[in-house]
Structure 1
Amino acid sequence: MLYGAHHGWLVNWLHGRLGCSHQAADLARDTFMRVLLADRRRRWPVSCSNRGIFW
């Protein structure tokens, strides 16, 4: 939902700033991955003893 709601405008904005559609797409993907992973870590804290199960 987050990706679908914001991907288009973010890529367009980045393309305007960077002047390259490929770099804009790559940066948008990287941005969403960082946001989604940060949200996952915040919701599912993993202690050091359990880290092997998830990582």
Structure 2
Amino acid sequence: MFDKKLETDLLIQNYWIKILICFRNETETLYMFWCNTRMLLFQCTCYNQKELRNKFK
């Protein structure tokens, strides 16, 4: 069951990152994000918190 979408906009390394909660259970929350680059390329992938931290540190 998908959680109600909560979103945050972050500006990271010249990318606009829109992060949504796309799934939540008792043990973890998965986040879905879109990257809108200057070339208007979009990505949509789910990550857990550890993966997000590794990706954007």
TM-score computed with the length of structure 1 as normaliser: 0.25
Give the structure with the higher percent strand.
2
Larger Rg computed on CA atoms = 1
Give the structure with the higher percent helix.
1
